[in-house]
Amino acid sequence: MNAKKLKACQLSCIRDERLLFSELNFTLMSGQVLLIEGANGAGKTSLLRILTGFRKPDSGDLFWNDEAIDDTQEFYQDTAYIGHNNGLKDTLTAEENLRYAQALATTTLTIDDVMEQVGLNGYQETLVRFMSAGQRRRLALARLLCTHKPLWILDEPFTSLDRASIKLFEKFIETHANQGGLVIMTSHHDTSIPHTLLQKIHL
């Protein structure tokens, strides 16, 4: 993977006539994980919405590989997002969900491979409706793995996960970073991701 870089300059965000944050700067390089912390309502989700390009910052700029993110299509080629909802269709099977995601992006691994990796082998034909909350998160993770997306943006990835699944999730985040990927995430939990990889922003 080529080295990638996300740079934020003097970001500020006003929401509902309230200043959430201002003059926020950071640079995230390939191989790094950015953890965004803060109390509820501090603007974590708003910051993620800005970083995904859904919301324009009230001032400041974002650069992806030193180019301003104006033409979001280029940026979206490299970016994946998992929000509060997993973005899965309840009445499609696991495989159908992944196939749809691959048809919109660049395919890396086969579906059977990633299902194996996240420990969902044998669930390919299962409707998402019949999966547990933890299994759905894993399936969303599988979606990240089966498409070529250097930058992961994860909003509270560990909610509704059991200990083992959190471990698994963290392992994939770490591997992704070690392979030259970038991860931005918010979390309430303490993570066991090594500090050498980790940058923190407290809102």
Partner 1 sequence: MFMRFIYKFSSPPYFYSISGKMLPWLTALFFLLLGYGLYGGLVTAPADYQQGDSFRIIYVHVPAAWMSMFIYVVMAISGGIGLVWRIKLAEIVSISSASIGASFTFLALVTGSLWGKPMWGAWWVWDARLTSELVLLFLYLGVIGLYNGIEDKRTASRAVAILALVGVVNIPIIHYSVEWWNTLHQGATVTKLDKPSIHIDMLIPLLVMAGAFKVYYAIALLLRCRNELLEREPNGKWIDELLEKVK
Partner 2 sequence: MKQSSLFQAFGAVIKRDLLLAYRHRAELINPLAFFVMVITLFPLALGAEIALLKRIAPAIIWVAALLASLMSIDNLFRADYDDGSLELMVMTPHSLSILVLAKVTAHWFLSSVPLLFIAPLMGLMLHMDSNVIGILLLTLLLGMPVLSLIGGIAVALTLGLRKGGALLAILVLPLYVPILIFASGAVDAAMSGFPVSGHLSMMCAILFLAITLTPLPTAAALKMSLS
Residues in contact with partner 1 by CB under 8 A are 14-19, 56, 58
Q: Which does 105 bind (CB under 5 to 8 A by kind): partner 2, partner 1, none?
A: partner 2
Q: Which residues of 136-169 are buried (b: 16+ CB within 10 A; e: fewer)?
A: bbbbbbbbbbbbebbbbbbbbbbeebeeebbebb
Q: Residue 143 Cβ, how far from partner 2 at the closest point, in Å? A: 8
Amino acid at 180: G
Q: Residue 19 Cβ, how far from partner 1 at the closest point, in Å? A: 5
Binding site residues, partner 2, CB under 8 A: 49, 52-56, 73-74, 76-77, 79-81, 83-92, 96, 99-108, 148
Give long-range contacts, CB 8 A cutoff, 24+ apart: 83-86: 83/48, 83/155, 84/155, 84/156, 84/159, 86/136, 86/137, 86/139, 86/140
Whose Cβ is closer to partner 1: residue 46's or residue 97's? 46
Q: Residue 56 Cβ, how far from partner 2 at the closest point, in Å? A: 8
Q: Residue 104 Cβ, how far from partner 1 at the closest point, in Å? A: 24
Q: Residue 128 Cβ, how far from partner 2 at the closest point, in Å? A: 9
139 within 8 A of 128, measured Cβ to Cβ: yes
| Beta carbons within 8 Å of 32's beta carbon, 6+ residues apart | 177, 182, 183, 197, 198, 199
Whose Cβ is closer to partner 1: residue 15's or residue 99's? 15
Q: Which does 58 bind (CB under 5 to 8 A by kind): partner 1, partner 2, none?
A: partner 1
Q: Which does 18 bind (CB under 5 to 8 A by kind): partner 2, partner 1, none?
A: partner 1
